[in-house]
């Protein structure tokens, strides 16, 4: 296990300072997290050989994260994860305008959102890290002073448990998510095509050429999006399908079966024997097959990352919900509390 020194991430940002924090359980599962962007830097789990594997892509020092061309490796995304069409929404007949950082649309709340700010340290114990952030009114164009906390916990069940909480003093939209790029293979320079994936979702949201959801919902049956039974990520990734061509692979929101806390996905690597189970209370799951991964700068352990060298399973509400009355609402009103939970549990497939 190659842990990074906290000094690699220590820097002053005005009155705030960044650092690196390590949490672990009694089994040796270990995570390193920086309060710059509330970012998961490394996550060590045991493989079938009994040796530790770091299963997320990332960098060894803060300077690389600040100049990275993959701006979301391991980040906490907010105020709004995913896309908002035309970079605007309306609340109580008032239009709020956001940054256009994805063509004419807004992606992940803008270029200077939660993934680039210094979060405040609340508590740090052996297995738990709690960070908080006060997002001021109209930061990124979003209304309301939003107080946010995120708790990272390594459980004795070998899970990374991520819990979010937020309150506001004015009606706003909130949709937080975690954006790690996972690769469960022994060799992180190998693509993730051979991973076996199952998603408990019978339908997904088709997108237009600008990756905004269209006006209809499509069943996954008889499409490349059918992961109801385990299949290789790469099995249909190059299939002659309009949706696959638009995104260059998978970059779509699945409408998950069930409600409240439940298992929504599982993925495993034949090479390492590692299986990851995703549990959440969210209605959607964005599956991104890492279609566009830059290796500038070079990744951890001097590894050169490649396209489809990592995948994302982001639990969240649906993209463009602020502009879609037919989607589950992401509105948070003053006096109400936003909560969300995502758990990544790791085990060995014999």
User: Which residues are identified as catalytic?
Assistant: 179, 314
Could you tell me where the DSSP H helices lie in the chain?
Answer: 62-67, 242-247
- Cα torsion 299, 124, 180, 77 to 10°: value is -120
Q: Count CB-CB contacts under 10 A for residue 8.
A: 18
Cα 141–chain centre separation: 22
DSSP 3: P
**Distance between CA atoms of 7 and 20, rounded to whole angstroms?**
8
- Those residues whose C-beta lies under 8 Å from the C-beta of residue 291, and which sit 6 or more positions away, are 247, 248, 249, 250, 251, 307, 308
Contact at 8 Å (CB) between 202 and 211? no
Reduced to 3 states (helix: H, G, I; strand: E, B; else coil), residue 65 is: helix
- Those residues whose C-beta lies under 8 Å from the C-beta of residue 90, and which sit 6 or more positions away, are 96
Cα 118–chain centre separation: 18
């Amino acid at each position: 296990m190659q842990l990074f020194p906290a000094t690699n991430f220590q820097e002053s940002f005005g009155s705030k300072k960044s650092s690196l924090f390590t949490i672990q359980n009694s089994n040796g599962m270990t995570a390193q997290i920086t309060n710059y962007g509330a970012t998961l830097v490394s996550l060590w789990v045991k493989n079938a050989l009994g040796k530790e594997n770091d299963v997320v892509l990332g960098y060894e020092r803060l300077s690389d994260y600040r100049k990275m061309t993959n701006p979301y490796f391991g980040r906490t995304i907010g105020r709004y994860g995913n896309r908002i069409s035309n970079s605007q929404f309306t609340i109580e007949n008032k239009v709020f305008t956001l940054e256009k950082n994805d063509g004419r649309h807004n992606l992940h709340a803008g270029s200077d959102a939660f993934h680039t700010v210094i979060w405040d340290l609340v508590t740090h114990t052996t297995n738990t890290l709690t960070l908080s952030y006060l997002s001021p009114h109209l930061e990124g164009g979003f209304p309301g002073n939003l107080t946010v906390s995120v708790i990272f916990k390594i459980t004795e069940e070998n899970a990374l448990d991520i819990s979010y909480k937020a309150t506001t003093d004015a009606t706003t939209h909130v949709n937080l998510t975690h954006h790690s790029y996972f690769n469960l293979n022994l060799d992180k320079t190998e693509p993730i095509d051979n991973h076996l994936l199952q998603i408990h979702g019978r339908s997904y949201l088709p997108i237009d050429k600008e990756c905004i959801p269209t006006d209809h919902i499509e069943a996954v049956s008889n499409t490349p999006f059918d992961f109801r039974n385990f299949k290789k990520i790469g099995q249909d990734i190059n299939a002659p399908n309009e949706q696959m061509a638009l995104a260059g692979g998978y970059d779509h929101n699945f409408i998950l079966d069930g409600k409240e806390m439940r298992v929504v996905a599982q993925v495993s690597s034949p090479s390492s024997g590692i299986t990851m189970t995703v549990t959440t209370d969210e209605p959607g799951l964005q599956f991104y097959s890492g279609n566009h991964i830059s290796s500038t700068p070079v990744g951890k352990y001097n590894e050169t990352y490649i396209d489809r060298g990592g995948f994302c399973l982001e639990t969240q509400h649906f993209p463009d919900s602020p502009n879609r009355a037919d989607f589950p609402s992401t509105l948070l009103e003053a006096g109400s509390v936003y909560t969300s939970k995502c758990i990544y549990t790791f085990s060995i497939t014999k």
